[in-house]
Amino acid sequence: MKRLFILKRAFVINRIMHRYGLDEFLAPTPLSKYGLLFKLFALSRNKKHHLDRGERLNLALTELGPIFVKLGQMLSTRRDLLDDDLAESLAKLQDNVEPFCQQIAIETVEQQLGSPLAEVFESFEQTPLASASVAQVHSAKLLNGDEVVVKIIRPGIKRKILADLKLLKILAEWFEDYSEIGKRIHPKQIVADYQNTLFNELDLRIEAANTTQLKRNFEQSDLLYVPKVYWEFCRQRVMVQEKIHGVPIGKIDRLLENNVNMKKLAHHGVEIFFTQVFRDSYFHADMHPGNIFVNIDDPANPSYIAIDCGIMGTLNQSDKRYLAQNFVAFFNRDYRQIAELHVQSGWVSSKVSIEEFESAIRTACEPIFGKSLDEISFGHFLVQLFQTARRFEMEVQPQLVLLQKTLLYIEGLGRQLYPKLDLWETAQPFLKKWLADTYGPKAAFNKMKQKAPKWLEELPDMPEKISAFLNASSNQSNQQISLIKSIDSLKQSQLSSGKRIRWAILGLTFILLSLTSSPEWLAIEWVKGLLMGLSLTSFVVSFTA
């Protein structure tokens, strides 16, 4: 059944790829020699030959479904890896996917809210404001006059997602079971995590909760604004939140026309990212340009507006500490510490040579140290890192996959906003301060101060607790002594048994020797040997019992 499903889905993908004339993308690969075979099985012909390749790729990914659309969204930020025509076309996937029927949108809202539109909204724009892979958004105005947007999940989207996830799971199982690289990168766990994030996107109540939490995290900050959620109008497939006004971050020309300080905007973006990851352990993990806007009310000091919090990432304290220490070690060019940290965290086996690993890291990192984004080939850098990972069997950490994806988005956006941005210079002081605040002497003192009331409360009971602990330790020591004696007794018993067995074997040997005597031996010698063996065996066994 699995193979049949894969073949069926592969047939559909092949048909769509050929329909949009995308077989040209196979030209640089070994698959190009099978191009004629793919065309025969496609059972369709290129009907979009008048469109350029970027537009055709956009349409194909849209037809293939949300998982492929999200892949296109991420690729659209990587202008260093894609030609301009492809990047421009894929950027349209961020908020310009073909919308679904207006009547279905209205029926979904009324069914979810349990009321006609007129009882909730003063006005409701039937033409969507934006349309993405999982949902689309309509402008509206509540009866109290508040301007809002209404987000509605696409009909039938869950079925399409389940179909693609099923294919991904099968491929991940095969990859992990039959490939050494697959065993290292844990594709099954990665797909399972991706499934959870996608399912979370299908429940807008989860997104509403995520949005509320992110807004609370930045309430005291001027760097990031998160719109208000109207909880009374939020359901599984419908969410209502404040309408924001800003310039999409991908509209670089508009930002420049309004004299926005692009350097400061880029620096603020890096600071927001590291604040979310290290201070809050809660970061927006879908930061493609369609979800990020810029408030240009004060062009000299611009701020960000974030929407679409369906996918959020978290890190535990251990991962945060090791990540921050790795970053700081990199800033200090302390490649040995990076190697040791990877071993200590369990990301790399303790059997590897620290010296060799340190040398490999230095080779990958030195060419990009201290350079701005426009001087760095991240594509080449990532290839080197993957080769290093493969050489030292470094395991991919599933909990870091979302973070890695977000870093790609951040780097892609930074490249567009301010190519001269020095990521290291911007991030280093923040990370050093975070490490000092979290693990330095002051942090230790604060932790002790927080726990002091509890310690004082327990202080009167401490003598009894210490006495109970010592008694328990004493009992444990007695039990250990008793166990040691039992082990010694068992050893003596085994030695004694061994002696009995050896003598018994010796007696049996005499018996066997007598039985194997040649017929030429005298009968009396045969009888004497038999009696001697039997007597010796019974004597030794009874004596050593």
Q: What is the pLDDT of residue 36?
A: 46
pLDDT digits (tens, 9 = 90+) for 393-443: 776 666 666 777 677 677 777 777 887 776 667 777 777 777 777 776 776
Rounded to the nearest integer, the mean pLDDT of the chain is: 75
Name residue 293's beta-bridge partners.
248, 305
Mean pLDDT value of segment 439-461: 70
Length, in residues, of the chain: 545
Q: Is 286 a catalytic residue?
A: yes
Sorting pLDDT into bands at 50, 70 and 90, what band is 509?
A: very low
Edge-first strand listing for the sheet containing 303-306: 224-225, 303-306, 292-295, 247-248
Instruction: List own/partner pairs for 201-204 with CB under 8 A and 24 or more apart.
Output: 201/134, 201/135, 201/310, 201/311, 202/134, 202/153, 202/157, 202/158, 202/161, 203/236, 204/135, 204/151, 204/153, 204/234, 204/235, 204/236, 204/237, 204/238, 204/239, 204/310
CATH class of the 102-261 domain in this structure: alpha beta
Sorting pLDDT into bands at 50, 70 and 90, what band is 524?
A: very low
> Of 80, 164, 177, 286, which residue is the catalytic one?
286
Instruction: Name the maximum alpha-carbon separation found in the chain.
Output: 125
What's the CA angle centered on 524, arms 522 and 525, to 5 degrees?
70
Sorting pLDDT into bands at 50, 70 and 90, what band is 66?
A: confident
Looking only at the bridges linking them, the beta strands covering 238-242 and 312-313 are: unpaired
For the ranges 37-46, 75-84, 284-293, 426-435, the one whose mean pLDDT is highest:
284-293
Element (H, E) at 241: strand 238-242
526 Cβ neighbours under 8 A, 6+ residues apart:
514, 517
pLDDT digits (tens, 9 = 90+) for 229-274: 999 999 999 999 999 999 998 889 999 999 999 989 988 888 898 8
- Which of 46-55, 136-145, 223-232 is predicted with the least confidence, judged by mean pLDDT? 46-55
Name residue 135's beta-bridge partners.
153
Q: What is the pLDDT of residue 533?
A: 40
Sorting pLDDT into bands at 50, 70 and 90, what band is 37?
A: very low
Residue predicted with more confidence, 75 or 493: 75
Torsion, Cα 304 219 198 247, to 10 degrees, reads -20
Q: What is the pLDDT of residue 428?
A: 73
